[in-house]
C-alpha cells in the first residue's frame, strides 16, 4: 500500500510539473530539482549550500580554471589585485601565537600613531589574541575594516635594558597599498633588477616608478623576475609589455567559441615606451603563470629579450567574472590566450579531471623535466618562428625558456624541509632581530652593507638546531651539513627582511638563486646576442 502511494504521488507530481512547464530546458530542470528537494525532502536542508554545491559540481566538469567563490572568497581573491585594502598598515608574522610586527607601512595608520617594528600586538578591541592559537584569518578580519573606522590595540614593547612595556593605541584605519613590485635595485653598475609578484591594477605604474629610479642610477640593461608570479589582470600585462617593445605591436590575442578574436596591442595611444633598446632578460619558472606568460610570450615572439629559467605553468585560459547579488561569483573560462605567433599558452587538460591537472608540476619533477634540459620534449607540429629573427620556438603549453636552468635540489634535505615546515626559520629570524635590532641598524648603515658583510655564524645555526630539537625535529648531522648553505642563506635573508625591508630578502636570495645567477651571466655576456641570433 505504501509503495503504491509513493508511486502514485510521484506520478501525480510529474504530471503536474509537465503540465505546468511542458518540456524542460536544462536550466528549468536544474531549478525544478532544487525546488523538489527544498519543498519535499524528508529533512531540513540548507538551500544555499545545495545551490552552491550544484554550481561547483557543474563547474568541476569543465576546465580546471572555471570556479565558484563565496562572497568572502571573492573579496579575498580580488583584494590583492585591486591594489589596496583598508587596515592598520603593518607587515606581521605570527611567532609562537603572538602577532609580531615586522614593519609598518611608511606613512600608514600604525606608523602615524607610533607602532614600531618588533612590537607585539596582544589585544584587539579588548579581545586577547596572544597565546590563544587564533587563526591568522580571524586576526586579519579584526584589524581590517572600513576606511575611517577605529580599532583599539594593546602592544607589548620590549627594549634592550628596559622592562617590558604595555602600550595602548587607537588606530584609524586607512587605505593600505598592496605592492606587486617586491624589489628594484642595481645589481651592478649597468644592470637593474625588478621583481614582480603579481599583475594588479597598479602594477604598470609601480613598474614605471621602479624603472625610472634604476634609470637614474645608471641602468642600461634590465632583469625582470617573474618567477612564482601567478599572474593577474590581462590589461596590466599588456600595458607593462608596452613599455618594453615598440608601439603598435600585438602583445596577445584572445579567442573562444562564444568570444570573437580580440587583439591587444602595445601602446595604442602612441606614447613612447620606456625601454626598447637595452638588453632584457626575463626570469621564469614552473610557477610563472597567466599574465606572466603573456609577458614572456610577447617578449620571446618579438625577439625583444631572452627568457631564462624553466617552462612556465601553462595557464592560458581567460576567465570572465559573473557576480551574484550576494557578492559570490562564478569565474567562467570564455577564451584562450594566444601569443603574437599564435601559440596557445594553455597546457593540455581533460575536462572534469582537476586532480590530474593539479599534479602536472609533480609529473614534471618525476619525469626529469625540471632537472634536465634533454628531458623536455617538443612537438614538431607545434613549432613556430619568432617574428623578427625567425628563431624556432614551440607551443604546447607554457613558455619554454631560451636558456634552461635546472632546479637545484643539492641542499634541500629532509631535515631542512622538516625545520621549514615547523616555521622555525621565521621564528629564529624574528627572535634574532628582536634581540639585535639596534646593533644591526647601528653596524650596517643600509641593506647593501648588510648583504655584503653580515654572516650567519655556526653559533647561530646551533641555536636554530636547538630550537628544532625542542620542537621534536629529529636531527641528522649529515643532512644538516648538506643543507647548511641553504640554512645560512635563508636565515640571513629573513633577518635582512625583518631588519630592513622585503627587498633585502631578494638581495640575499639572489646571491644563491641559480636562475638569477644565470640571468646575470647571460645579460653580461656574448651569449645574449647568440641566443637571439642562433
Distances (CA, A) of 281 to 198, 203, 387: 18, 19, 18
Q: Does residue 222 sit within a domain?
A: yes
Residue 160: per-residue pLDDT? 60
Residue 7: per-residue pLDDT? 44
Residue 313: per-residue pLDDT? 95
- Of 301, 360, 402, 447, which is the active-site residue? 301
pLDDT tens readout for residues 504-528:
999 999 999 999 999 999 999 999 9
**Res. 67: pLDDT tops 70:** yes
Q: Let me know whether 360 and 450 are in one domain.
A: no
Q: Do residues 223 and 192 lie in contact, with contact meaning Cβ atoms separated by under 8 Å?
A: yes
As a whole number, mean pLDDT of residues 317-335 equals 93
Rg (CA), the chain: 27
Distances (CA, A) of 199 to 84, 193, 205, 474: 13, 17, 11, 41
Q: Let me know whether 389 and 266 are in one domain.
A: yes
3-state SS, residue 370: coil
- Out of 8-12, 108-112, 377-381, give the one with best mean pLDDT: 108-112
Q: Let me know whether 6 and 35 are in one domain.
A: yes
Residue 9: per-residue pLDDT? 44
Tell me which of 163-177, 256-270, 279-293 is least confident: 163-177
Q: Does residue 449 sit within a domain?
A: yes
DSSP notation for 480-524? HHHHHHHHHHHHHHHHHHHHS-HHHHHHHHTTT-HHHHHHHHHHT
Q: Do residues 475 and 468 lie in contact, with contact meaning Cβ atoms separated by under 8 Å?
A: yes
As a whole number, mean pLDDT of residues 341-352 equals 92
Q: Let me know whether 89 and 172 are in one domain.
A: yes
Q: Does residue 139 sit within a domain?
A: yes
445 is catalytic: no
**Res. 6: pLDDT tops 80:** no
Which backbone phi and psi does 195 adopt, to 5 degrees? -105, 130
Residue 489: per-residue pLDDT? 97
Mean pLDDT taken over the chain: 90
- Beta strands at 191-196 and 181-186: parallel, antiparallel or unpaired: antiparallel
CATH code assigned at 391: 3.90.226.10
Residue 12: per-residue pLDDT? 42
State the Cα–Cα distance between residues 297 and 126, nearest whole angstrom.
Answer: 52
Report the sign of the C-alpha dihedral through residues 97, 100, 102, 104, in that order: positive
Q: Does residue 120 sit within a domain?
A: yes
CATH code assigned at 133: 2.30.42.10
pLDDT tens readout for residues 242-278:
999 999 999 999 999 999 999 999 988 888 999 999 9
pLDDT tens readout for residues 434-476:
889 889 989 999 999 999 999 999 999 999 999 999 999 999 9
Q: Let me know whether 263 and 150 are in one domain.
A: no
Number of domains in the chain: 4
Predicted confidence band at 28 (pLDDT cuts at 50, 70, 90)? confident
State the Cα–Cα distance between residues 397 and 344, nearest whole angstrom.
Answer: 6
290 is catalytic: yes
Instruction: Report the run of H or E that residue 82 belongs to, with start and end.
Output: helix 71-82
Predicted confidence band at 419 (pLDDT cuts at 50, 70, 90)? very high
Residue 94: per-residue pLDDT? 79
Q: Let me know whether 117 and 63 are in one domain.
A: no
DSSP notation for 302-337? TT-SEEEES------EEEEEEE-TTS-EEEEEEEEE
Which backbone phi and psi does 204 adopt, to 5 degrees? -55, -40
Q: Does residue 528 sit within a domain?
A: no
**Res. 16: pLDDT tops 60:** no
Domain that residue 389 falls in: 181-407
292 is catalytic: no
Residue with cell 613612447: 272
- Of 290, 292, 328, 400, which is the active-site residue? 290
Q: Let me know whether 368 and 243 are in one domain.
A: yes
The contacts of residue 195 (CB under 8 Å, 6+ apart) are 181, 182, 183, 184, 224, 225, 506
Q: Say what percent of the chain tops pLDDT 70.
A: 95
Q: Does residue 95 sit within a domain?
A: yes
The contacts of residue 425 (CB under 8 Å, 6+ apart) are 419, 464, 487, 490, 491, 494
Of 107 and 113, the structure prediction assigns the larger pLDDT to 113
Q: Do residues 378 and 506 lie in contact, with contact meaning Cβ atoms separated by under 8 Å?
A: no
Q: Let me know whether 196 and 228 are in one domain.
A: yes
As a whole number, mean pLDDT of residues 472-483 equals 96
Q: Let me know whether 55 and 88 are in one domain.
A: no
Enter the C-alpha cell of residue 55.
554550481
State the Cα–Cα distance between residues 117 and 103, nearest whole angstrom.
Answer: 5
Predicted confidence band at 1 (pLDDT cuts at 50, 70, 90)? very low
State the Cα–Cα distance between residues 293 and 298, nearest whole angstrom.
Answer: 8
Q: Let me know whether 387 and 450 are in one domain.
A: no
3-state SS, residue 416: helix
Q: Does residue 35 sit within a domain?
A: yes
Q: Does residue 523 sit within a domain?
A: no
Q: Let me know whether 204 and 288 are in one domain.
A: yes
Q: Let me know whether 134 and 187 are in one domain.
A: no
The contacts of residue 354 (CB under 8 Å, 6+ apart) are 60, 64
Closest CA to 214 of 491, 460, 12, 503: 503
Amino acid at each position: 500500500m505504501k509503495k503504491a502511494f509513493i508511486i502514485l504521488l510521484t506520478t501525480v507530481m510529474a504530471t503536474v510539473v509537465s503540465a505546468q512547464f511542458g518540456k524542460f530546458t536544462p536550466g528549468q530542470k536544474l531549478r525544478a530539482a532544487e525546488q523538489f528537494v527544498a519543498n519535499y525532502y524528508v529533512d531540513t536542508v540548507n538551500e544555499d549550500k545545495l545551490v552552491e554545491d550544484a554550481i561547483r559540481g557543474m563547474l568541476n566538469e569543465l576546465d580546471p580554471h572555471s570556479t565558484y567563490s563565496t562572497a568572502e572568497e571573492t573579496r579575498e581573491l580580488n583584494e590583492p589585485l585591486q591594489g589596496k585594502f583598508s587596515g592598520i598598515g603593518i607587515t606581521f608574522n605570527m611567532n609562537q601565537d603572538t602577532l609580531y610586527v615586522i614593519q609598518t607601512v611608511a606613512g600608514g595608520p600604525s606608523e602615524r600613531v607610533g607602532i614600531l617594528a618588533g612590537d607585539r600586538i596582544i589585544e584587539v578591541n579588548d579581545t586577547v589574541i596572544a597565546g590563544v592559537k587564533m587563526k591568522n584569518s580571524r586576526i586579519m578580519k579584526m584589524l581590517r575594516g572600513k576606511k575611517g573606522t577605529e580599532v583599539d590595540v594593546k602592544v607589548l614593547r620590549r627594549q634592550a635594558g628596559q622592562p617590558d612595556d604595555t602600550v595602548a593605541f587607537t588606530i584609524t584605519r586607512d587605505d593600505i597599498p598592496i605592492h606587486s613590485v617586491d624589489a628594484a635595485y642595481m645589481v651592478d653598475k649597468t644592470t637593474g633588477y625588478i621583481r614582480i609578484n603579481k599583475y594588479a591594477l597598479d602594477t604598470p605604474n609601480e613598474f614605471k616608478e621602479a624603472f625610472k629610479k634604476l634609470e637614474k642610477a645608471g641602468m642600461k640593461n634590465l632583469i625582470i623576475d617573474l618567477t612564482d608570479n601567478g599572474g593577474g589582470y590581462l590589461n596590466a600585462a599588456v600595458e607593462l609589455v608596452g613599455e618594453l617593445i615598440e608601439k603598435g605591436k600585438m602583445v596577445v590575442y584572445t579567442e573562444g567559441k562564444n568570444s570573437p578574436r580580440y587583439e591587444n596591442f602595445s601602446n595604442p595611444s602612441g606614447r613612447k615606451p620606456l625601454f626598447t633598446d637595452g638588453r632584457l632578460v626575463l626570469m621564469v619558472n614552473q610557477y610563472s603563470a597567466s599574465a606572466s606568460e603573456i609577458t614572456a610570450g610577447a617578449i620571446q615572439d618579438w625577439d625583444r629579450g631572452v627568457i631564462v629559467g624553466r617552462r612556465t605553468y601553462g595557464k592560458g585560459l581567460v576567465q570572465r567574472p559573473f557576480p551574484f547579488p550576494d557578492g559570490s561569483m562564478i569565474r567562467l573560462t570564455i577564451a584562450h590566450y594566444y601569443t603574437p605567433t599564435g601559440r596557445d599558452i594553455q597546457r593540455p587538460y581533460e575536462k572534469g579531471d582537476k586532480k590530474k591537472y593539479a599534479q602536472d608540476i609533480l609529473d614534471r619533477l618525476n619525469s626529469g623535466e625540471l632537472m634536465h634540459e634533454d628531458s623536455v620534449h617538443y612537438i614538431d607540429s607545434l613549432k613556430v618562428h619568432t617574428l623578427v629573427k625567425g628563431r624556432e620556438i614551440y607551443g604546447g603549453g607554457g613558455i619554454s625558456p631560451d636558456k634552461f636552468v635546472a632546479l637545484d635540489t643539492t641542499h634541500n634535505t629532509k631535515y631542512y624541509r622538516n625545520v621549514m615546515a615547523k616555521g622555525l626559520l621565521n621564528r629564529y629570524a624574528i627572535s634574532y632581530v628582536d634581540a639585535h635590532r639596534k646593533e644591526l641598524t647601528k653596524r650596517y648603515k643600509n641593506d647593501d652593507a648588510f648583504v655584503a658583510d653580515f654572516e650567519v655564524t655556526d653559533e647561530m645555526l646551533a641555536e636554530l638546531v636547538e630550537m628544532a630539537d625542542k620542537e621534536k625535529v629529529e636531527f641528522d648531522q649529515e643532512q644538516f651539513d648538506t643543507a647548511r648553505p641553504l640554512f645560512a642563506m635563508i636565515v640571513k635573508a629573513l633577518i635582512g627582511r625583518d631588519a630592513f625591508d622585503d627587498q633585502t630578502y631578494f638581495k640575499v636570495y639572489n646571491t644563491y638563486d641559480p636562475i638569477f645567477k644565470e640571468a646575470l651571466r647571460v645579460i653580461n655576456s656574448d651569449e645574449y646576442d647568440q641566443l637571439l641570433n642562433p
